[in-house]
Structure 1
Amino acid sequence: MLIIPIKEGENIDRALKRFKRKFDRTGAKRQLQTRKQFTKPSVARRAQVQKAQYIQQLRDQENI
């Protein structure tokens, strides 16, 4: 559970912005999305390899 202490006289919008930033940094939303549905380990591994190939291809093009 995220706790954001609000300072005296602080605007609620500013505190909400800090909460959203902290929520994004913890990765809670991403974790909830991955738990929503099951992906087979082979599918996850294949996606990881494809992502690595794509990134490597971009780096190779940059070096040329």
Structure 2
Amino acid sequence: MLIIPIQSGENIDRALKRYKRKFVKTTVKSQLQERKQFTKRSIALRAQVKKAQYAQDLRDQEAL
């Protein structure tokens, strides 16, 4: 559970904006979206390999 302390005289819109920002940073939203649909292990591994290849390509380009 996220707790957002509100200072006296602070606008509620500003506090909501801080809450939303904190919510996104905690990756709760992405975890909920992941759990919505089952992903086969082979597809998850394929995505992980693809991500690693992309990162390696970026590192190779920097080295040049």
Superposed pair shares fold, TM > 0.5: yes
Higher mean alpha-carbon deviation, 1-10 vs 45-54, is at: 1-10
Counterpart in the other structure of 1:18: 18
Q: Are positions 1:39 and 2:42 aligned together?
A: no
Amino acid across the alignment from 2:8: E
Counterpart in the other structure of 1:59: 59
Identity %, equivalent residues: 73
Amino acid across the alignment from 1:5: P
Distance 2:57 2:24 in 1: 29
TM-score, normalization by structure 2: 0.89
Distance 1:5 1:62 in 2: 43
Q: Note the alpha carbon deviations across 1:12-41, whole angstroms, 9 max, x for none.
A: 121111101110111110001000100011
Counterpart in the other structure of 2:29: 29
- How many residue pairs end up in the alignment? 64
Distance 2:50 2:61 in 1: 17
